[in-house]
Amino acid sequence: MENEQYAAPLYEAVLQYVNDGVVPFHVPGHKQGRGLPELADMVGEQILQMDVNGMKDLDFIGNPQGVIREAQILMAKAFHARRAYFLVNGTTSGVQAMIMAACEPGSEIIVPRNAHKSTFGGIILSGAIPIYVQPQCDRHLGITTGVALSDLETVIKAHPHAQAVLVINPSYYGIATDLKAIVNLAHSYNMAVLVDEAHGAHAYFHPAFPVTAMEAGADMSAASMHKTSGSLTQSSVLLYQSNLIPLERVKKVLDLTYTSSASYLLMTSLDLARRQMTLKGKKLLSETLRLVRWAREEINRIPGLFAFGPNMVGKPGCYAFDETKLGIHVAGLGLIGYQVEEILRHRFNIQVEMSDLHNILAIITIGDRESQLRQLTSALQQLAAEADHQKTPFYFEIPPSPEMIVSPRDAFYSPTKSISLKCAAGEIAAEMLMAYPPGIPVILPGERISADMIEYIRFLKSQGCTLQGTADPQVNCFRVLGSE
Ligand SMILES: Cc1ncc(COP(=O)(O)O)c(C=O)c1O
């Protein structure tokens, strides 16, 4: 029997529609590019002809009965999930949907303190009460790793009625926790496990990667196909196999939050990326792993650089490692990560995914080629040859856990005012303050600002950490609850 994964029903239907030369009296208004010739000249006519909208031949995202449904069924099978839903607003919308599906206003959800902002968005939207668990930190690298199972167990025992536990698998830097053990633990308390797999969609297609959410028995996952598996930016999938969260609830949430004009370009790219990954993913990813392993070894021969990888496994908070995340500790060059990012961009025409104070991160995928990795390694060799190798001392602390006074949702809907940071002790935060490193929010909406915290923020600034999330980028002022 032919492998059904050879089919790409949505892509084929869109192609048929284009080839039929249909006269389009429907949106989008650019009408196959004629309404915006400059864009058509740049990207080509065919891509704009494929930018269509819901109709009988092409199905409707709201209640798919045709080719979108068929494509989603193939997607679910590819990810070993019971159901899969196309997302056109990234994993952000998937994380929010998972939390809204699992939680009601007032129900508790256990989340790592270093979660992505989409988790905090989901908490505000659902009205859930977050119970934070601190991740471990690698002080030498200046990054957070994962949550220790024992820490999670302590929090679960203290909050046995929480509805769900959210897990990041793997982190931006490739670090994964013992997901199977977490699922078993959470399920023994009837808590659903929601997994943020923004950086892990490719792991479903090769055995060398950390265990996936669906394999571990998690209830739901949101995975960014666009980040690591070839589809267009913003296209992700929501995966479901829960016995704790009713499917009807998931559908209700999606119905509430979905656009009624989901992009066929994004959805078609999901259909094609799924086909490619199921049919050729193992071979493509084997080549990706060969390249990244070679690059990691080369970089580790360069004085002053440390490309961390599978040798992280066994350190606190790291149970498994995704080798395609090429994190490079650059402190030994006497430069900070942001400087290295800038130099690579402006002198060597190389753009990395991100940098923090002491690291840069290159994401290696099925789209990378040996020549490009050679460009990166030789640029780093050149940089190291010129560097003064004076490592700058750096210290960071895990932020003290603030007291939550009102829920993030209540804080979001309360009147707020801006005050000087130095006068903020005792006030309730109306905004988030995130520090990189270590990538943990110092404060979240609804939490009490303490004098220690203000000291800590000053300390972070003196260390050159990037502070994000506040209306005032310099963080001289801070928004708190109360009227102006
Ligand atoms: C851990 C994590 N979760 C969720 C997201 C959101 O994913 P998306 O950009 O697909 O919305 C990101 C994005 O970088 C992320 O790093």
pLDDT value at position 298?
98
pLDDT value at position 324?
98
Q: Which residues contact 328 (CB under 8 A, 6 or more apart)?
A: 299, 305, 306, 307, 308, 359, 360, 361, 362, 380
Structure tokens at 79: 């990810």
pTM comes to 0.96
Tens-digit pLDDT profile for residues 146-188: 999 999 999 999 999 999 999 999 999 999 999 999 999 999 9
Q: Which residues contact 95 (CB under 8 A, 6 or more apart)?
A: 116, 118, 119, 121, 122, 166, 194, 196, 198, 222
Tens-digit pLDDT profile for residues 363-384: 999 999 999 999 999 999 999 9
| Residues flanking ligand 1, CB < 6 Å | 90-92, 95, 116, 118, 168, 172, 196, 198, 224, 236
Q: Which residue owns the Cα nearest ligand 1 atom 9? A: 90
pLDDT value at position 390?
73
127 alpha carbon – ligand 1 mean position (Å): 21
Residue 6 is classified by DSSP as G
Average pLDDT over residues 255-267: 96
For the cut 80, the answer to whether the pLDDT of residue 297 exceeds it is: yes
Q: Which residue owns the Cα nearest ligand 1 atom 1? A: 116
**Omega of the bond leading into 28 within 30 degrees of 0 (cis):** yes
Candidates 99, 118, 239: which one to mutate for ligand 1, based on the most atoms within 8 Å of Cβ? 118
pLDDT value at position 1?
61
**Omega of the bond leading into 399 within 30 degrees of 0 (cis):** no
pLDDT value at position 92?
96
Tens-digit pLDDT profile for residues 298-357: 999 999 999 999 999 999 999 999 999 999 999 999 998 989 999 999 999 999 999 988
Tens-digit pLDDT profile for residues 74-129: 999 999 999 999 999 999 999 999 999 999 999 999 999 999 999 999 999 999 99
376 alpha carbon – ligand 1 mean position (Å): 25
Q: Which atom of ligand 1 is nearest to the CA of 234?
A: 10
Candidates 92, 269, 353: which one to mutate for ligand 1, based on the most atoms within 8 Å of Cβ? 92
Confidence at 392, pLDDT banded by 50, 70, 90: low
197 alpha carbon – ligand 1 mean position (Å): 8
Distance CA 349, CA 376 (A): 10
Q: Which residues contact 179 (CB under 8 A, 6 or more apart)?
A: 167, 169, 195, 210, 211, 213, 216, 218, 319
Q: Which atom of ligand 1 is nearest to the CA of 171?
A: 1
Candidates 91, 95, 197, 234: which one to mutate for ligand 1, based on the most atoms within 8 Å of Cβ? 91
Indicate the fold that domain 4-277 takes in CATH.
Aspartate Aminotransferase; domain 2 (3.40.640)
Q: Which atom of ligand 1 is nearest to the CA of 236?
A: 10
> What is the DSSP code string of 268-328?
HHHHHHHHHHHHHHHHHHHHHHHHHHHHHHHHHTSTT-EEE-GGGTTSTT-SEE-TTEEEE
385 alpha carbon – ligand 1 mean position (Å): 35
Confidence at 395, pLDDT banded by 50, 70, 90: low
Q: Which residue owns the Cα nearest ligand 1 atom 4? A: 198
Q: Which atom of ligand 1 is nearest to the CA of 94?
A: 11
Q: Which atom of ligand 1 is nearest to the CA of 226?
A: 10
Give 466's strand partners.
436
For the cut 70, the answer to whether the pLDDT of residue 23 exceeds it is: yes
Q: For the chain, what are the domain ranges?
A: 4-277, 282-386, 408-481
For the cut 90, the answer to whether the pLDDT of residue 35 exceeds it is: yes
For the cut 70, the answer to whether the pLDDT of residue 393 exceeds it is: no
pLDDT value at position 399?
67
> What is the DSSP code string of 409-469?
HHHHHS-EEEEEGGG-TTPBBSS-EEEETTTEEEE-TTBBP-HHHHHHHHHHHHTT-EEES
Average pLDDT over residues 18-36: 96
12 alpha carbon – ligand 1 mean position (Å): 29
The CATH number that domain 408-481 falls under is 3.90.100.10
Q: Which atom of ligand 1 is nearest to the CA of 93?
A: 11
Superfamily, domain 282-386: Aspartate Aminotransferase, domain 1 (3.90.1150.10)
199 alpha carbon – ligand 1 mean position (Å): 7
Specify the length of the chain in residues.
484
358 alpha carbon – ligand 1 mean position (Å): 22
Confidence at 456, pLDDT banded by 50, 70, 90: confident
Q: Which atom of ligand 1 is nearest to the CA of 227?
A: 10
For the cut 70, the answer to whether the pLDDT of residue 67 exceeds it is: yes
192 alpha carbon – ligand 1 mean position (Å): 20
pLDDT value at position 293?
98
Average pLDDT over residues 22-45: 95
Q: Do 4-277 and 408-481 show the same overall fold? A: no
Confidence at 440, pLDDT banded by 50, 70, 90: confident
Tens-digit pLDDT profile for residues 218-248: 999 999 999 999 999 999 999 999 999 999 9
SS3 state of residue 152: helix
